Amino acid sequence: MRKTLTKMVLEQRSPASGRIEIRDTDSLLLFRLTAKGHRSLSIRTRVNGEQVRLLYPEAVTIDNLAAARIWALEQISACKKGHDPRDKAKAEAKANRIAAERSERRIFENVMDAYMKEEVRGRKKNRTADQTERRLELYVKSQWSGRVITDISRSDVHALLNDVRDRKIKFGRQKYGGPVVVNHVLAAIRAMFNWWQVQDDEFISPIVRGMEKGKVTKRQRVLSDEELRILWSLLPGSGVFGSIIELLLLTAQRKGEVSAMARTEIGRDGIWTIPAERYKTGLPNVVPLTSKAQIVIDRQKKYEGCDLVFTTNGTTEFSGFGKSKERLDEAMLAVMRVDAPNPENIQLTPWRLHDLRRTAKTLMQRAGVRPDISERVLGHVIAGVAGTYDRYDYFEEKRDALERLGKLLDRIVNSTAPNATTGVSATIIPAKTYAFGWMRRSGP
């Protein structure tokens, strides 16, 4: 059917079944109307001998009809010259798809997921991956979710850091942040932005020097001799958690390295080799185990098919640090208050498990261990020329340092020196009558 396309023709009612096709008398356009109400304009022509049907890309309205007739002439002309208009449409569709995918990839949470998967957990196998992810989830993703990363400006970062510092980050019913955590959040954002800057040629990190919010004070907490005595008296009855603390002090290694210790990492000669993939520096660390350390390891329960030393289920490494540490603090404070003239005035200075590493380092200094040797025991990378060219393993020196550490620790925990807090000798409650009571609530 041939007919001049008019508003009435274009807007006519759909057929009950099948379809209606009308050729425009004023152009090569073909109007098609289906039973489902789909309206289209198209042309039929040949390209390099092949018959093709080309659809007009815009909506079918009387307002678009003039433009559609011009479009039809342009397509016919291009086809006669051997140019296939479909190639251009495919290229445009591909370009649009790539642009959409690129835009989707730039959404903040997608960048963050890629960063955690490819860089933090993938290439770097970062031991602090969980901590990094928690910080980004809590403080950053909660505020920038849905944002395109290329649209995040320096002022956005500045405003976010101010909210973190002032504890204005809301998650659920609680507020999070503070002056201590703000620079850790900044470091996490900076690392992610620097990584993405390499991936995306249109992204420039908005983070610059001087964006830190105040100076971060390095922790200096070292447990006193009296605190060590009280702590040590509570460990025998505190299961796997207590054994981990003992080994933290006896080896001066990090919590994650000790808690994930595997029996295959320990040689018959008592040498514990921490593999590079589990060590912060990315290099293996060799730790000579003293007889006291080996006793702690030997008394751990062995599970069939499990190589882990510190486990309560034979499947995963010990992980109940939070609640166990809280109960240990409660127990230490209770012991400190025994026989004190004013118990309510006695407080336990907050401490972390990582402070035991600093405590062990300090004890080695007291025991006459050279600073450079104690640094090597801790697995720190030695800076400067010595670190670059000195390839001696210092194995015997490290063994001697840990032996001295163990002997000094033994003298401290078995002495009855005056309590530095109360001024009187502490009364240590036997572990069997106290520690078992508070640890029974949390299992092993």
Closest residue by Cα to residue 260 from 344, 321, 324: 321
**Topology annotation, domain 106-199:** DNA polymerase; domain 1 (1.10.150)
DSSP line for 131-190 = HHHHHIIIIIIHHHTT-BGGG--HHHHHHHHHHHHTT-EEETTEEE--TTTHHHHHHHHH
Q: Assign 44 to helix, strand or coil.
A: strand
At what angle are helices 239-251 and 225-234 packed, to 10 degrees? 140
pLDDT on residue 443: 37
Overall size of the chain counted in residues: 444
Q: Which residue has the higher pLDDT, 270 or 85?
A: 270
Distance CA 76, CA 396 (A): 88
Percent of the chain with pLDDT over 90: 57
Distance CA 443, CA 238 (A): 9
In this structure, the strands spanning 19-24 and 2-3 are parallel
Which amino acid is present at 292?
A: K
Instruction: Please state, in angstroms and as integers, the Cα–Cα distance from residue 28 to each residue in 33, 62, 139, 328, 359, following that order.
Output: 17, 16, 61, 87, 89
DSSP H or E segment with residue 72: helix 65-80
Flag the least confident range among 26-40, 107-121, 207-221, 269-283. 207-221
Distance CA 260, CA 179 (A): 32
Q: Selecting from 3.30.420.40, 3.40.50.20, 3.30.160.390, 3.40.50.1240, what CATH number does the domain 2-95 have?
A: 3.30.160.390
How does residue 304 score in pLDDT terms, banded at 50, 70 and 90?
very high
Domain boundaries, the chain: 2-95, 106-199, 225-442
Percent of the chain with pLDDT over 70: 88
Distance CA 328, CA 241 (A): 10
pTM, full prediction? 0.57
Task: Return the percent helix, strand and coil in the chain, to nearest 5.
Answer: 50, 10, 40
Domain 225-442: assigned CATH number: 1.10.443.10
How does residue 407 score in pLDDT terms, banded at 50, 70 and 90?
very high
Is residue 389 scored above 50 in pLDDT?
no
pLDDT on residue 422: 36
Q: Assign 36 to helix, strand or coil.
A: coil
DSSP H or E segment with residue 48: none
Flag the least confident range among 217-231, 403-417, 418-432. 418-432
How does residue 127 score in pLDDT terms, banded at 50, 70 and 90?
low
